[in-house]
Amino acid sequence: MNTTDRFLAQTHTVENQPPALEDYNLFAEDQALQEAVKREGAAWAEQELLRFGAECGLPERIALGFAANANKPQLVTHDRFGHRIDQIEFHPSYHQLMDIAISEGLHASPWANPKPGAHVARAAKYYLHTQVEAAHGCPITMTFAAIPALQHQPDLLAKFGPKIMAPDYDGRNVPDTMKHGMTIGMAMTEKQGGSDVRSNTTKAYAIGAEGSGQAYELVGHKWFVSAPMCDAFLVLAQTNKGLSCFLLPRWRPDGSKNALHIQQLKNKMGNVANASSECELRGAFAWMVGEEGRGVRTIIEMVAMTRYDCMIGSSSGMRQATVQAVHHARHRSAFGATLVDQPLMQNVLADLALESEAAMTLTMRMARAMDQQDNEHERLLARIATPIGKYWICKRTPNHAYEAMEAIGGMGVMENTIMPRLFRESPVNAIWEGSGNVQCLDILRAIQKEPDVLEAYFNELHRAAGTDKRFDAFVTKLKADFSNTPKDQWQYQARYFADHMALALQGALLLQHAPAYIADAFCAARLSAHTSANYGCLPTGLDHRAILSRTL
Ligand SMILES: Cc1cc2nc3c(=O)[nH]c(=O)nc-3n(C[C@H](O)[C@H](O)[C@H](O)COP(=O)(O)OP(=O)(O)OC[C@H]3O[C@@H](n4cnc5c(N)ncnc54)[C@H](O)[C@@H]3O)c2cc1C
């Protein structure tokens, strides 16, 4: 090729494309998170979060998330000799992510090392880590959440607790006796009902003596069992006294394989790196956890924690989507100006940032409530604000992910960006662990069972009373709505209440803790007559520049 031809073969220079967002510190760049960590009681964790935030931004760490999702887990039911093995084969990156999460204590640190701010520190770390990859957070969360349920059966907790809390990940398909650490899953949902677990048909037969802590064999099926390579599962099954909770190990105590047979893996549209399965229990060995016939009461302790973690996970998804969109807009020009300098894009990005900060602020407030469960206000608040936050934050995420994707334009749809993954992940938290309506009904159930939760909720709002007229008016109307709606219509109106309770709580927290330009924008955009279904409809007069510069 002569020089001219070589020159012509170089068709163009690549311009106007942003650099990859990597080699950045996810914690140091997140002003609002840093403030929340201090405010909610985990200032002591700052150095560790700075170290971890930098690691989460490394290109090789980010690559793990891509690899784990590009390589779907595969089920191998039998070995080549015909023995049943029920083995899931994951890409090595999945195991690396699990290893990082567990060695960092995301599965147990507040139980293993309880101290003031322990939940806050863990929530912040989980929030950083799941920005890299969210799907493997499922077994991490379930392991974390299992401890409160196991507290109902102290002998089992004493036996397995140390391994569950150990910072050791071992993904091998071998008995837990051969491991230093264990992961725990959860199997409630059956074909005929997920929300209504009382319809469970799986039966438990006592091997010898009946009751708490005793050995049973379970026969039936489970329609959704995520992370089926966990070392044990909390499972619901029926005895003569009703639905009871069991701890079912993957291997029987004698070291033989337990009869938890994986039928097939779910073909999921999101949460791809994590395997979810359909299982049959063919006389599977398990110990009863907690009181016989009170299985829902026992496992709800686990469910409550997984719901709380859904708030962290969805807030984290929103944060990563916001950061990607803002980064892109800062480096991309159209019509002669960078996108971030164009008024309409400023409106969209500021609105996304506002939503993200509101979600994180509520989540971190709940982390403090988890840390202070011996305080009655915090206990009551956690009871009512967990379903409020789980419902609202998880439900706000899909549209947020989509808008962030659109801000990036055509590239946002490409699989070699994180945006499609964030989008596909976004509805999952809203559906599992109690779908939207179920959360709303749980808010009402909490109020009906323990009316003090509503008082605690309004007391929490009262801390911001008098700081903003729009907020005050919003709260006054919410109170009036509760009084004026006949009780027999509360169920029909439950989403209305949940929406407004979430917004008021986020408003109260931002008014107390966020810079005035954030709180002002939130009140203007979410608590006043000026509200819109779409992002990018912030009213004029807000300090969108300050909002954006705080974001990244
Ligand atoms: C990716 C993924 C992984 C999962 N992993 C697990 C797992 O590991 N373990 C496990 O046990 N389960 C798991 N699940 C199951 C999940 O928890 C259930 O799908 C969920 O609880 C909903 O149950 P369902 O699918 O049976 O829907 P249904 O219970 O039939 O509900 C359908 C819809 O009806 C609504 N609804 C229900 N009752 C009412 C009511 N009274 N009033 C108004 N609306 C109502 C619900 O909110 C929902 O929107 C997983 C699900 C997914 C998607």
Each of the 552 residues of the chain gets a pLDDT tens digit; together they read 676 666 677 889 999 999 999 999 999 999 999 999 999 999 999 999 999 999 999 999 999 999 999 999 999 999 999 999 999 999 999 999 999 999 999 999 999 999 999 999 999 999 999 999 999 999 999 999 999 999 999 999 999 999 999 999 999 999 999 999 999 999 999 999 999 999 999 999 999 999 999 999 999 999 999 999 999 999 999 999 999 999 999 999 999 999 999 999 999 999 999 999 999 999 999 999 999 999 999 999 999 999 999 999 999 999 999 999 999 999 999 999 999 999 999 999 999 999 999 999 999 999 999 999 999 999 999 999 999 999 999 999 999 999 999 999 999 999 999 999 999 999 999 999 999 999 999 999 999 999 999 999 999 999 999 999 999 999 999 999 999 999 999 999 999 999 999 999 999 999 999 999 999 999 999 999 777 889 999 999 999 999 999 998
Amino acid identity, position 229: M
Q: What is the pLDDT of residue 5?
A: 67
Rounded Cα distance between 221 and 278, Å, is: 8
Contact at 8 Å (CB) between 181 and 277? no
Angle at Cα 101 formed by Cα 96 and Cα 106, nearest 5°?
A: 170
Residue nearest to atom 23 of ligand 1 (CA): 194
Q: What is the pLDDT of residue 344?
A: 97
Number of helices (H), then strands (E), belonging to the chain: the values are 20, 11
pTM exceeds 0.95, yes or no: yes
CA distance to 290, 395, 426, 450, 451, per residue, from 446 (Å)? 22, 20, 27, 6, 7
Ligand 1 atom nearest 196 alpha carbon: 29
* Residues pairing with 238 in the sheet: 203, 243
Residue 427: count other Cβ atoms within 10 Å of its Cβ: 18
Q: What is the pLDDT of residue 503?
A: 98
Q: For 518, phi and psi rounded to 5 degrees?
A: -75, -50
Contact at 8 Å (CB) between 190 and 223? yes
Residue nearest to atom 44 of ligand 1 (CA): 437
Task: For ligand 1, pick from 72, 183, 192, 195 the residue to mutate: most ligand atoms within 8 Å of CB.
Answer: 195
Residue nearest to atom 35 of ligand 1 (CA): 437
Q: What value does the CA radius of gyration of the chain take, rounded to a whole number of Å?
A: 24
Task: For ligand 1, pick from 224, 274, 310, 489 the residue to mutate: most ligand atoms within 8 Å of CB.
Answer: 224
Residues with CB under 6 A from ligand 1: 185-189, 193-196, 224-226, 268, 271, 276, 428, 431-438, 441
End-to-end CA distance of the chain: 47
Contact at 8 Å (CB) between 286 and 213? no
Residues contacting 94, CB < 8 A, separation 6+: 68, 73, 136, 273, 274
Query: What distance in angstroms lies between residue 424's CA and the mean position of ligand 1's atoms?
Result: 17
Residue nearest to atom 42 of ligand 1 (CA): 437
Query: What distance in angstroms lies between residue 315's CA and the mean position of ligand 1's atoms?
Result: 21
Task: For ligand 1, pick from 191, 435, 492, 496 the residue to mutate: most ligand atoms within 8 Å of CB.
Answer: 435
Beta strands in 102-253 (DSSP E): 184-187, 203-206, 215-226, 232-239, 242-249
Contact at 8 Å (CB) between 91 and 68? yes
Residue 534: strand, helix, or coil: coil
Q: Is the dihedral of CA 208, 212, 217, 218 positive or negative?
A: positive
CA distance to 65, 376, 416, per residue, from 465 (Å)? 43, 21, 47
Contact at 8 Å (CB) between 190 and 210? no
Query: What distance in angstroms lies between residue 307's CA and the mean position of ligand 1's atoms?
Result: 13
Residue nearest to atom 5 of ligand 1 (CA): 226
Amino acid identity, position 489: Q
Q: What is the pLDDT of residue 11?
A: 85
Rounded Cα distance between 457 and 501, Å, is: 9
